[in-house]
Structure 1
Amino acid sequence: MDDVRGSRTQSEEGGRTVIREGGRTIIRDGDRSIIRHDETSRFRADSRDVQVQRRGRETVSTIVRPGGVRIVNTLDDDGRLLRRSRFDARGRELVLIDNRRAARPGVRRYVDLPPPMLRIPRDRYIVAAGAVSAAVIYETLSAPPVDRIERPYALDEIRYSAGVRDRMRRVDIDTITFDTGSWAISADQTSKLDFIAQAMMQAIRANPAEVFLIEGHTDTVGSDIDNLSLSDRRAEEIAIVLTERFGVPPENLTTQGYGEQFPKVAVDGPERENRRVAVRRITPLLAGKGPAR
């Protein structure tokens, strides 16, 4: 984190504090802080070619894979993902994420929703990966929303609105733990992601448009800005391992750090259970479909 801190610059833009560190941008807007980064680097491992073009005020990255499959990510000037598509070898497009609504002037990224009405046991709503079978993990990562979905939500609305995300069940990856101040995953821990990867691949085979959000979290040691950056890197590291070791397509994953905002254990100071990553399926939120059973 010392190197990360040393790379930061800070400015005031439109009444917001904007902190930049390499490929990440932290935005303080009133009492809220969010972080975003360009996920394109995660796509390079299995690519044959990466082409980056500037089109007006947008940056378009095209990742070409062996066999002619192309992944196209479109970003705005602020580095916000606007659209992600997969084109097969015949040029047919499958839109995975369309975030353009969130980029329109005057559209709020934050959606205030009440907690969902649960009709299932809480240990099946928030599942601890180390305590359940592969079948339960798949069930959790393929389940419909636990409460009614009012409309399609943009990716930014999902990322930055807990009430929206909480409509979907969650798997806490408690089999992976991080040292204080670190986002590294030791080699002996990567195999513990096997059940998560199996469940994702099974879901993607059934629906190639599935999207999973990987969420990073920290304990309260360190500054809130350091923790926001650290948590975002933890989420990205899990995504990288899922792709490079287990073959989960990177375009079906998106990552977001939340810092110390959502502790699993309500305690100040170092707490291993709060230095964690979680995953949930967000496809129904993006599509505005999938009524609760």
Structure 2
Amino acid sequence: MNVTLRQLRIFVSVARHGSFSRAGDEIGLTQSAVSRGVRELEGELGLRLMDRTTRDVQLTGAGLNLQATAARLLTDLDGALREIREIGEQRRGRVVVAASPTVSARLMPVCLALCEVRYPFVSLVLRDDVQQDVIARVRSGEADFGVIIGPFESEDLIVEDVMRDSFVLICRSDHPLAARTEVDWQALSGIKLVMLDRTSGSRPVIDRLMRQRGVDVHIVQELAQSATVFGLVEAGVGLSVLPSLSLPLPADASLVAIPLVPRGERTIARVRRRARSLSPAADAVWSLVGEWRDGKPVLVPPGKGP
């Protein structure tokens, strides 16, 4: 027996419409092709499935039995094929995202968890790097896209802001400024500061804000990692200005974080090559990052995590 899907689809359409011509209109075949498909199916089965008159089409007992089964099987098959196509074309693949340190530590873990829930066939690989290396990975194609600190502009890259992050003063709990609910930037003039170095995407933003606020800067140490900055501040080497995403403070540290005013902000931006389109899998993760709002990424619902 050599029954084809084409024959079954023709039969189910004729049975549903009770007409060869209307079935032909639905599936894009001529009436004669539809009639031939039904005859071929009947020949393969050795049964008459339809009684034809000049006015309508009536199913035989065998035809009625086949209609119910064939319609259900075709519906299940179409659903399965649609699901496989979505997995194969849009939801499967390896995606490499490069991100700046605070973004990698505070935002990307949630993105990774959410990706596993929404796109279980996508393998998301995170590369945490200083900003200049993130941009280099994106430009070289080593990373599908990056998440960086803005503002940032480049003719060869597409840069889209996704959220904002403010800055805070980090000091010991016994420092005179620690009792304040907020600290003016100008209060930092002449105070020893322990800062992130210039490989950080935040540093140019902080420098610009200090110039705008007229701060007389006295930097005594420049470091690559927020964790090291916390250690030096706790040791009494100086105070620091860090983005809010650097929080929380170390649990065993006698440190406090105080908002700086007027409010100064950096942007978190997603960046990709202008001349290259993203794969369907990478585009899905790109959209996930775009869902971040107000400094808070969309969280995995309780009990829905991997």
Q: What TM-score comes out, normalization by structure 2 length? A: 0.21
> Which has the larger helix fraction?
2
Q: What TM-score comes out, normalization by structure 1 length? A: 0.21
Higher RCO, 1 or 2 (CA under 8 Å, sep at least 6)?
Answer: 2
